Structure 1
Amino acid sequence: MDPTTSGRFRVHDRRPRPDIDATANEADGGADTAKTADTDGPIGADGPAGSDRPAGADEWTEPVDPREEDEPSGSDDPPEEFVLVEIPDGSVDPTAPGAAERYDPLYATAEAYEGDLAERVAALEPGYVVDATLAWTDGSARFVDVDVVRETRFRFADDVEGMFEAAVEAWRAVRAEGEAVGSVTTRSNDGDPNGALYLFADAPGSDTFADLRAGRLPIEPLVARVNASRADDDPREVFVLRPAAHEFVAVYVVFDRDGVLAQTVRDTYGLGSGFVAGLDAREVEALDADRGDGADTHVDESRGNGDNDHDDFDPLDRV
């Protein structure tokens, strides 16, 4: 019987499975280019030793077996897998030994399930929290059972244009203090907290966005901090955004997944069903005239990063 693991997991992402063997070959410099598997000698200007290359031919081409020409090559798409992060039972002290390893990702195949389990696995989205049992075979994990607990969503966008001003101004304040990481609380025009914005340096030579998406740099502690501060079990919307014009990556944990702010960010950066897409011109004009509905977002000045008068995030400025 295959060993199993049961627990609560975050579906961090769904992606094509990396070709580990190909990556290892690239790291080793690739195969010996001076030989082929079908020849005993080196390939020179006249082809493999003992070949029948005609004299004066410009290039030697290995003969093709005509039986192989009509055979289907099969799909080149690699199988997909889920990146999972196990959620600890309680809070994790970030200063405790081994704290970082508590959020190490693990991987489960996303394909080749049957029946009801196949439907449940196919419905999983990045960000969902699930109670699951995984079975391990030859180092690979597969779902034996899975149930969705919370439908938080993770959305990733690289090279985004028009990064909202609250993030840009907050990042300038972080850099002015000589820091590489910062966080601020955003608030609506009514003064109600509506999101937690975390900013990470993305200096040349690093790839913070890729590290966050792969789970090498954990997002889970940021979401856990928000959940601990909120008196609800509502699903969140988490946006991981790397702007094209700035050297930082933003992780924006929006408190209400179904609220105006989350819908607007989705619409602004083309990340799924949005808010403005469902409005006609008269409704947009009405919202533009009524800015007291809590749709705007600005940096919480009490956190020390909101002294600029231009850090309002206008959800309609790209309509």
Structure 2
Amino acid sequence: MEPTTSGRFRVHDRRPRPDIDGTGPSDPPEEFVLVEYPEESIDPTAPDAEDRFDPLYAAAEGYEGALADRVASLEPGFVVDTTLAWTDGSARFADVEVVRESRFRFADDVEGMFEAAVDAWDQIRSAGEAVGSITTRSNDGEPNGALYLFADAPGSDAFTDLRAGRIPIEPLAARVNESREDDGPREVFVLRPAAHDFVAVYVVFDREGVLAQTMRDTYDLGPGLAAGLDDGALDAAKAGSDGDGDGSGDEGGLSDGDEDGFDALDRL
């Protein structure tokens, strides 16, 4: 009988497994990168925190019937309850059920990084820090996202480490879930700008809100404001999300974040 593992996991990404030792196939298949979803919050500064978020890989193809449909519907960011069956060290889904349809979206070499991220990074570096976070707010002053920034210095590759799960995203999303009164799905954008030496992890509180849609449109990461709108309605919607030029628009006015527990220079 095959050994199995059951639990709740985050679908972190879908990609070929990294060939660390150079012995893998020349054309490896895509697999789902899964990260254990903790029942209780984990302090990211704890000595064993990184081990709690070690990624594992599960086959993305080769299923049949209803299970094949459920596996094919999985997207990065989804939270799932699953049973994994193991054969010779490789995992396959024996059963899977989606619990929350949050989304992770990754974009490298981004042009036109939004101003809130650039301004926040300047503040963080001026304070001598290598990481930090701010809360962004909508035009009406309501918190709409938590923006985390990581240094991407020469010789390091924070974007690749985040995408591979070697730097865990889960504690950042968990902090948002703990601070919010709702249990809705989030949208997480991991962006590396072409013109700056940082990587942004932007946890947007409302996956279906204007901010998430604007981010998807701006960085070509899926359907956004343009979906279902004619040109005139789209222009009006974008104008409404741009703010009034004082840095408080939906793409993120700087804030100290006291209302929901995120400090402007909060250490990760």
TM-score (norm 1): 0.75
Residue in 1 aligned with 2:260? none
1:224-243 matches, within 5 Å, as 224-243=174-193
Kindly provide the amino acid, as one letter, of the partner of residue 280 in structure 1. D
Quote the offset at 1:250 in angstroms: 0.2
Partner Cα distance (1:86, 1:290) in 2:
39
User: 1:266 maps to which residue?
Assistant: 216
User: Cα–Cα, structure 1 residues 125 and 245, in superposed 2: closer, same or farther, change >3 Å?
Assistant: same
Correspondence 1:99-110 to 2 at 5 A? 99-110=49-60
Counterpart of 2:15?
15
- d(CA) in 1 for partners of 2:44 and 2:105? 25
Are positions 1:199 and 2:149 aligned together?
Answer: yes
**d(CA) in 2 for partners of 1:264 and 1:95?**
33
Query: Would you say the 8 A contact 1:261–1:295 is kept in 2?
Result: no
Alignment partners' CA distance in 2, 1:95 and 1:78: 34
| TM-score with structure 2 setting the length | 0.89
Q: Secondary structure at the match of 2:51?
A: helix
Distance 1:290 1:160 in 2: 23
Task: State the AA in 1 paired with 2:109.
Answer: D
Quote the residue 1:119 is aligned against: 69
CA distance in 2, matches of 1:19, 1:131: 28
Which segment is superposed worse, 91-100 or 216-225? 91-100
Contact 2:151–2:197 (Cα < 8 Å) also in 1: yes
Shift of 1:283: 1.9
- Counterpart amino acid of 2:128? G
Paired with 1:191 and 1:11, the residues of 2 have a C-alpha distance of: 32
In the alignment of these two chains, the number of paired residues is 256
Equivalent residue number for residue 110 of structure 2:
160
Which residue of structure 2 aligns with residue 301 of structure 1? Answer: 255
CA distance in 1, matches of 2:18, 2:42: 30
Deviations 1:145-176 (A, max 9, x none): 00000000000000010000000000000000
Map residues 1-319 of structure 1 onto 2, 5 A cutoff.
1-19=1-19, 23-24=22-23, 77-276=27-226, 278-287=228-237, 296-303=250-257
Shift of the alpha carbon at 1:136? Answer: 1.0
Measured in 1, the distance between the counterparts of 2:67 and 2:239 equals 49
* Code of the aligned partner of 1:175: R
Q: Is the 8 A contact 2:102 2:186 kept in 1?
A: yes
The more displaced of 77-86 and 223-232 is 77-86
Whichever residue aligns with residue 3 of structure 1, its letter is: P
- Secondary structure at the aligned position of 1:302 is classed as coil
1:269–1:141 distance in 2 versus 1, CA, 3 Å: same
Following the alignment from structure 1 to structure 2, what is the Cα–Cα distance between the partners of residues 97 and 237?
28
Task: State the distance in 1 between where 2:239 and 2:113 align.
Answer: 24
- How far apart in 2 are the matches of 1:130 and 1:244? 33
CA contact (8 A) 1:13 1:126 kept: yes
CA–CA distance in structure 2, aligned partners of residues 20 and 117 of structure 1: 30
RMSD across aligned positions (CA): 2.3
Structure 1: stretches of 5+ with no match in the other structure: 26-74, 307-319
Report percent identity of matched pairs. Answer: 74
Give 5+ residue unaligned stretches, structure 2: 258-262
User: Which deviates more from structure 2 when the two are superposed, residues 267-276 or residues 143-152?
Assistant: 267-276
Q: Deviations over 1:108-153 (max 9, x none)?
A: 1111111111110111000000000011111111111000000000
- Residue 93 of structure 1 deviates from its aligned partner by 2.7
User: Higher mean Cα deviation, 281-290 or 3-12?
Assistant: 281-290
Secondary structure of 1:271 counterpart: coil
Q: 4+ residue runs of structure 1 moved beyond 6 angstroms?
A: 291-295
Query: For the Cα contact (< 8 Å) 1:174–1:180, is it kept in 2?
Result: yes
Q: C-alpha distance in 2, partners of 1:78/1:289?
A: 44
Between the aligned partners of 1:9 and 1:254, the Cα distance in structure 2 is 20
